[in-house]
Amino acid sequence: MTREAAGQYHNVFNATIRLTVSIESIRNFIAEDMLAVDRVIRSRLDSEVALIRQVSEYIIGNGGKRLRPILVILSSGAFGHQGQARFELAATIEFIHTATLLHDDVVDTSDQRRGKATANALFGNAASVLVGDFLYSRAFQMMVGVGIMEVMRTVADATNIIAEGEVLQLLNCHNADIDEESYLKVIRYKTAKLFEAASRLGAILGNANHADIEAMSAYGMHLGTAFQLIDDVLDYSGDMKDTGKNLGDDLIEGKPTLPLIRALERGTPDQAKLIRSAIENGGIEEFEAILAAMKETDALEYARDRAKSEAELACRAISGIPDSKFKESLIQLADFAATRNY
């Protein structure tokens, strides 16, 4: 992309994000495809073990944005693929995501997700971990069934890196000395990698050339990073009715997310001491004072700006792929990730 074209794209993106972006327009565009994905999900959840069906149905039927399956559908459509494999891989990606949620909630001892009780709160930690393992293994059965080596390599690499990201996050809990770049590495591994894989899979199914496959991978990585950064912001500014989460959950768990890191760097010595103590010890007792420090240091706005920058990079990454309604929806999805309030 030339400097002039990049500048024009920057202006188009900034004009777009000033609008209220709704994911519903994207869902409406691919509604029939997503119904087909849901049918695959339901059929592939089948097991002779009743508890597996019960826990899987609970967590998958518990709402969610389905962004990762949407990415598979949009990216495959952008390169002309209309086969059954896109539904199988969209469901595969959703199973992997769901497995990570089941395991995450056990590690984080969470009792609420999307405004409802977590599976581990209802069924116990052991059931959640084991059903998560079932979903992982079922996802790999489905991936192998598609029979494309590059698909298998993409998913296998992604799950391995996601696991590394989970361990990195565990190591960084209660670590007040983590810097911004180290934190971004964690979320690129833990969260953005599955977005990247979903985007890449669609391009592979569409027999895209190497450059376009890499472009879609970059798009997914930046999109996933933007999405997580907004999650970080919403943990301190969201409405529980919209997010399904209590404010300050990350603080309770001692997770040093970007708004905390920024406020710690830019705050007064007293504010820095307060934030450091909260990260190292966990808890929400000083939540209001920490939130005030974030506002005084523009930490939340800084994180939102970083998310918008990532979304812009996502849009730039796919500027060279053929124009289509699918590409337009991918750009809208990046806008949504950076401007959402839920």
Chain segment 268-316, per-residue pLDDT in tens: 999 999 999 999 998 788 899 999 999 999 999 999 999 999 999 999 9
The whole-number average pLDDT for the span 125-146 is 94
What would the CATH number be for the domain defined by 9-339? 1.10.600.10
Name the percent of the chain lying above pLDDT 90.
Answer: 72
pLDDT for 170 beyond 80: yes
pTM for the predicted model, two decimal places: 0.89
The yes-or-no verdict on residue 16 having pLDDT over 50 is no
**pLDDT tens readout for residues 189-224:** 999 999 999 999 999 999 999 999 999 999 999 999
* pLDDT, tens only, 47-70: 999 888 888 888 777 767 899 999
Contact 272, 239 (CB under 8 A): no
